[in-house]
Amino acid sequence: MATTNKDEVTISRKQMAELLNDDLAREYQAVIAYTVYSQTLKGAEFMDIAKELQLHAGEELAHAIKIAKQVDYFGGTPTATPKPVKLSDDAKTMLRADLENERETIAQYRQRIKQAEAMGEFALGEVLREIIMQEQEHEMDLCDALGIDVPPPK
């Protein structure tokens, strides 16, 4: 049960395992989307970003393994099911789908870091901070490719 301590909300280990499993499903989604999109983006102007996406795929797999380890640590069973991946033949549609997913991932990890720290789980906080740095780089790469500004954090 969640307890309110000043303005912090402490969640249980079980709730943390469930939330991390949701994060894991999002990491799998990212692995799949970057794997598929990196090989199907067409057009000379997208060749550089296609190479970047291939690198992202590998980084997302490393995130998935780290998050699965944390699910296990918190007493859960790592999920085997990804969030759905949007398929498209259009390069910009693919890049926008990646961008939306990265933004959702970043918003979720920001919350998860606060929750981890409220629980006194500083090692988890550290793992998440390292991951969120890479997610922000992914977001910037996608914004560059789409020619849009990265919005400031909400």
CA distance 46 to 49: 5
Q: How far is the CB of 100 from Fe ion (least distance, A)?
A: 12
Q: Where are the beta strands (DSSP E) in the chain?
A: 3-5, 8-10
Nearer to Fe ion, 2 or 107 (CB): 107
Eight-state DSSP code of residue 149: P
Instruction: Write the CA distances from 18 to 58, 77, 118, 123, 135, integer angstroms.
Output: 24, 9, 17, 18, 21
Nearer to Fe ion, 63 or 112 (CB): 63
Q: How far is the CB of 61 from Fe ion (least distance, A)?
A: 9
Coil, helix or strand at residue 137? helix
| Residues found near Fe ion in the complex (CB under 5 A) | 27, 60, 63, 135, 138
CA distance 56 to 34: 7
Q: How far is the CB of 27 from Fe ion (least distance, A)?
A: 5
Nearer to Fe ion, 121 or 135 (CB): 135
Nearer to Fe ion, 112 or 138 (CB): 138
Please tell me the number of Cα atoms within 13 Å of 64 on its side-chain side. Answer: 20
Q: How far is the CB of 105 from Fe ion (least distance, A)?
A: 6
